Structure 1
Amino acid sequence: MRFIFVLLSLFFSVQSCFSDQLTNILPTFEAYVQKSLSEWQAPGVSIAIVKDGQIIYEKGFGVREVDQPEPVDAYTVMPIASLSKNFLVTLIAQLVDEGVLDWDAPVKKYLPDFRLSDPDITNQFTVRDLLSHRSGLKGFSADSVWNLGYNATEIRDFLAQLPFEKGFRHDYAYQNHLFGIASDLVEKVTGQSIASLFQARLFNPLALTYSNVGPIEQPKKGLWGAIKGWFQKKPKLNVALPHHVIGTKTTATATSPQMYTFMGSTGVNTCAHDLGLWMIFQLNDGQINGKALVSKAQITQMRTSHVQATNLRPDDMQFPAVRMSQIHYGMGWFLGNYGGEGTEKVPFLSHMGGFGGVRSLMTLVPNQKLGIVIISNFGSMRVSMLPEALRNKFLDLYLNLGEKDWSKENLQKMQEIRTKNKQYKNDYRLQNPRPHHDLKVYVGQYKNPLYGSFEIQQDKQGLTLVYKDRRVSLTHWNGDEFEFKGNDLTPIYSEYDQGYIEFGVQGQKALLSAINLMFEGKSEIFERVKEGA
């Protein structure tokens, strides 16, 4: 009996030690958040931390919209982009528990029209394959047309034509739209929308009061918006606007409709408080108040490695090698170990999201019953690694791994990448300066088997690229190459996504062209099919 008492005393002593440690590090962490927010020029961030089944910390920093006074708090709603995938896989796990779905059944059993470019792989492709980033397709397949505003049907058709570039069930390559097809599959077998399923099966049982799926209602701006809201007796919305960098200025933008093309992949809107409750549920292995919403067996399936991410760069900012090792993907979770050199590494689960001016990151340390989530109304994965910097700083403080300024390092790395890319282009131009041909040489219509047609027009200002309903001004770069702002082609792109179009000219006639932001498929070439007037 005394032995049991000693063990219990030791257990509670260890728990108390970690609780005290969290209390001690939070002021340092808060100061770091404030400093980092300023360094990244990010308008706002909201954070929740859970430990031992409780939300021990939740707080917002900054504002919902740049140059506006409304603060971000723990209940400020933002889109969480790909962090939605964690919700989708959890929902599918419920359906597997109920016998409605089978992880290892062919997708075609549920979606007979499902198609990829290889018929054999199509027939073998299972529900598990949709959710584990091991398809054999190139990473982020069909994202280029998603960014361009293609609808769900167009994206599926585009995806079905892309060649396989990696080993099926062998190589890791992140995908968005296979999760979109998993959303289609769920809706087909249940006869219900993803939005209603998430609400009834996940949000309501877990009291995720501020969570929803689908286009998010934006706050009405200005005096007229305030008057209209008052007459409609509506409470003021606690919703943060996404932000991009335009020029050197952080600028608010509307939530992209592309965010909701596939609801289960990127369509959840929520707040730090609700994500704190979600982390507690996940750390409790799918249980809430003693009741299992998902069986332990299916939770284990989600957290079992399906593919190792072996192609990570040594300087990767998502999974820095100095702290992280053995990065794998399960289903709806990245898996890995976190720790310093010469220290014992702790296993973690994580997933991130980023698209169209928002970022999110959730990380759990199951053996510590610890979790942290960070959501921000700034950037995309190509603009902001602020959530990763804050998560790493928190874990470093918690695990006593010493001082490291992750924000400074990530900012420096991102700037170095941009500078290096620009310098490469500048150096080439300096070494090979060439004038352009007469502008009328480029005028005409060009066509690609996957992307369709665009037109080059000329006016007094120069050349304009016309693609679908977009008109994009071109500026001469060098020779037969012109540049344009990526966010003139689609608002999904940031100031840092520079576009280039290069023409292949023979004699006094452009025969083909290539655009760096339209790069997928067997050929990037657009062939000229019609001359200009």
Structure 2
Amino acid sequence: MLSDQGKPGLGDVDAYVETLVRNWHAPGIGVCIVRNDQVLLAQGYGHRDAANALPFTSSTLFPIASNTKLFTAVAAGLLVERGLLTFDEPIRNAVPSLRFHDPSLDAAVTLRDMLGHKTGVPRYDMIWYESDYSTKDLFERIRFMKPIAPLRSRIIYNNMMYEAVGHIIELISGKPWHQFVKDEILTPLGMQRTLFTYGDAKEDRQGDYAIPFSERRENDELWQVPAPKDDDCSPAGSIVASLDDIARWTIMLMNNGAIDGKQLIPASVLNATLAPGLPWPNELNDVLGFEFDLNGIYGMGRMTSAFRGHLLTSHGGALRAFHSQVSYLPKEKIGISVFVIGDHCAPLSNAIGFDLYSRALGLDATDWTARLYEFAVKEKTKMREARERSVPRGVPNTRPSHDLEDYVGSYEHPAYGQLHITADGTQLRFGFRHINQPLNHFHYDRFDTPDDEAHGGWSVLFLTSALGDIDRAAMRLDEAEAVFVRRPIRPDAELLAKLVGTYETPFGIKINVKLSRDGDILLSSPGEPENVLETFGGLQFRSSAFPDITFEFVLEEGHVTALRHWDAHAEIEWTRTDDAIGRTTAKAVY
């Protein structure tokens, strides 16, 4: 610990933070303070692992979440500096494979729009959060994200755009995002304890990494909450760093890219990230009833604002139980970064910096931590009371429309991936990403999971086709209802091959059945577009164009002899006429 003389104007920081650890029941807090090109403090308080009382140190590896974004913005800026990208021309000029939901966005969105949260596209966090998608997979799913505001009309925070920029960096540089950031930023800066996944941190030779603990929602007991995925490498928020490394990062930022007498990052790149974009929303200030800073403007990967008459640049980071704030005063060249373990004490990541800046600037004290503690206690109490008042509101005496086994299957959404519904005796189970929970009947064809403290509560509404089978499952994800389509179980390739051939209607019209390259059954009629037949069950299929029209192949003694076709009003049998009857090796047609 440093003496008060080592921290001019800041007072006894150690006693101040240690008091907050006790009063807020914080598992651990880390603080680093830099001035000009000197580290005044890099110190952990409390524990990095509350269960084993292991100390929080200046080298403890801590997930900085969205403070990753500035690394991604600087990496993109380096490619702009080299003439390989531009901030303000349509990004599709350089990356034609990028597709947005709206063609007008394809023609207009720039790299600055993506890094500045100005696309008008909402978050869609559940596409990337805890998924197994690569940055390339996420890049390809931008096209499923529907805008809700005109381009550049307002800030809508969007992690997916940073995932896409990460892949753009790979496409342009030839290196994966993490390798480019390591080679171009971390290694030159000497940031040896900055890694890219929580799994990397767990493999640290020193074993010095933060463990996520937080208070339970019903009481003040600390419990270990689910940690970030080991292999989640995200340009939007996966970097794990130490206080020592963040101190070097902040010194470099404050000094326009220079550190240790060397210009490591071009000043023009850093200045570009600070260029004013759109105003930051003030909803939280309205809720709190007071303001820390004023007139927040987001640039790229960070924002600027006014703190008690002084220019401040900052960015926060939040993952479950891990909260960070990296900030500095550009004119005074004072930087304060705070790491906090625990969701119940997350406000300290902001309040500590504001308290210490006030001290450093010689301003009258405002007890930010007391104000936020009162709000945090009130919020926790109100939410606990709300849960206690909650009662089931399902329609009584209703039953599912089908037997439970009929709901079992895999359902797929083009952006969100797969939802798995399984059965465990008389109980359905919900499987989505890392979550596996019981699924209980609520009413009609709606089933809910318990409101689990670790994974939350989920609700699934099963939908039926025109033929009465369960073929879709709807959930509310992000900003809208997401419909997952049931994945059919196809007949094996040998049986599918037997279906290929020519069939004749009672009116003498020849119908050809083919196999596509992907193994789909294609129905071809003279003068009509090919119709894809979707598996319905066994040798039954339905029309993709008209789901209430079904088909069934007639199998007699191992040979397909006919194709029955029916809708709600008529049933017609088409006779097999080609020479392939009896063969078992028909070839697919492409």
Mapping 1:40-439, distance limit 5 Å:
40-138=24-122, 140-141=123-124, 143-152=125-134, 153-219=136-202, 236-245=206-215, 248-251=221-224, 253-257=226-230, 259-260=232-233, 262=234, 264-310=235-281, 312-315=283-286, 321-339=290-308, 345-379=309-343, 384-414=346-376, 416-417=378-379, 420=382, 429=391, 434-435=395-396, 437-438=398-399
CA contact (8 A) 2:394 2:442 kept: no
For residue 66 of structure 1, report the CA deviation from its aligned partner: 1.7
Q: C-alpha separation between the residues in 2 aligned to 1:93 and 1:278? A: 16
Change (3 A) 1:322 1:468: closer
Change (3 A) 1:163 1:335: same
Change (3 A) 1:175 1:440: same
For residue 93 of structure 1, report the CA deviation from its aligned partner: 2.4
Change (3 A) 1:258 1:26: farther
For residue 154 of structure 1, report the CA deviation from its aligned partner: 4.0
For residue 164 of structure 1, report the CA deviation from its aligned partner: 0.6
Change (3 A) 1:472 1:178: same
Q: Equivalent of 2:16, from 27, 32, 43?
A: 32
Query: Does the alignment pair 1:465 with 2:435?
Result: no
Partner of 2:457: 499
Is there any run of 5+ residues in structure 1 with no aligned partner, and where? 1-18, 221-233, 340-344, 488-493
Q: C-alpha separation between the residues in 2 aligned to 1:481 and 1:39? A: 44
Matched AA of 2:337: V
Q: C-alpha separation between the residues in 1 aligned to 2:458 and 2:378? A: 20
Q: C-alpha separation between the residues in 1 aligned to 2:140 and 2:53? A: 45
**% same residue:** 20
Q: TM-score, normalised by structure 1?
A: 0.77
Matched AA of 2:152: R
Deviations 1:146-188 (A, max 9, x none): 2242403443343311211012112101111211111111122
CA contact (8 A) 2:461 2:475 kept: no
CA contact (8 A) 2:120 2:153 kept: yes
For residue 453 of structure 1, report the CA deviation from its aligned partner: 5.8
CA contact (8 A) 1:241 1:253 kept: no
Q: TM-score, normalised by structure 2?
A: 0.70
Q: C-alpha separation between the residues in 2 aligned to 1:498 and 1:70? A: 29
Change (3 A) 1:417 1:111: farther
Q: C-alpha separation between the residues in 1 aligned to 2:362 and 2:351? A: 16
SS of residue paired to 1:25: coil
Change (3 A) 1:238 1:246: same
Matched AA of 2:398: H
Change (3 A) 1:21 1:213: closer
Deviations 1:172-230 (A, max 9, x none): 0111121111111112222123333223322232222322334544558xxxxxxxxxx
Matched AA of 1:249: L
SS of residue paired to 2:236: helix
Q: 1 or 2 for the larger relative contact order (CA 8 Å, sep ≥6)?
A: 1
CA contact (8 A) 2:139 2:167 kept: no
Structure with more strand by fraction: 2
Q: C-alpha separation between the residues in 2 aligned to 1:526 and 1:414? A: 37
For residue 392 of structure 1, report the CA deviation from its aligned partner: 2.4
Change (3 A) 1:526 1:396: same
Q: C-alpha separation between the residues in 2 aligned to 1:245 and 1:457? A: 32
Task: Identify the range of structure 1 (352-361 vs 326-335) with the bigger mean alpha-carbon deviation.
Answer: 352-361
Q: C-alpha separation between the residues in 2 aligned to 1:473 and 1:447? A: 20
CA contact (8 A) 2:399 2:443 kept: no
Matched AA of 1:149: S
Change (3 A) 1:70 1:311: closer
For residue 351 of structure 1, report the CA deviation from its aligned partner: 0.9
Is there any run of 5+ residues in structure 2 with no aligned partner, and where? 489-535, 537-590
Q: C-alpha separation between the residues in 2 aligned to 1:396 and 1:475? A: 53
Structure with more helix by fraction: 1
CA contact (8 A) 1:106 1:124 kept: yes
Change (3 A) 1:512 1:190: closer
CA contact (8 A) 1:357 1:378 kept: yes
Task: Identify the range of structure 1 (283-292 vs 464-473) with the bigger mean alpha-carbon deviation.
Answer: 464-473
Deviations 1:110-162 (A, max 9, x none): 32210110112112221212211111011x22x11322424034433433112
SS of residue paired to 1:368: coil
Change (3 A) 1:372 1:316: farther
User: Alignment length, in residue pairs?
Assistant: 476
Change (3 A) 1:467 1:256: closer
Deviations 1:336-378 (A, max 9, x none): 1112xxxxx1110001112244222101111111000112344
Deviations 1:94-115 (A, max 9, x none): 3322323221232223322101
Q: C-alpha separation between the residues in 1 aligned to 2:6 and 2:310? A: 17
Q: C-alpha separation between the residues in 1 aligned to 2:417 and 2:397? A: 26
CA contact (8 A) 1:352 1:360 kept: yes
Change (3 A) 1:411 1:437: farther
For residue 385 of structure 1, report the CA deviation from its aligned partner: 2.7
Change (3 A) 1:436 1:26: farther
CA contact (8 A) 1:65 1:252 kept: no
Change (3 A) 1:448 1:58: closer
CA contact (8 A) 1:63 1:70 kept: yes
For residue 463 of structure 1, report the CA deviation from its aligned partner: 4.2
Change (3 A) 1:243 1:107: farther
SS of residue paired to 1:348: strand
CA contact (8 A) 2:126 2:416 kept: no
For residue 330 of structure 1, report the CA deviation from its aligned partner: 0.5
CA contact (8 A) 1:149 1:258 kept: no
Name the Cα RMSD after superposition: 3.7
Change (3 A) 1:192 1:323: same
Mapping 1:437-452, distance limit 5 Å:
437-438=398-399, 443=404, 444=407, 450-451=415-416
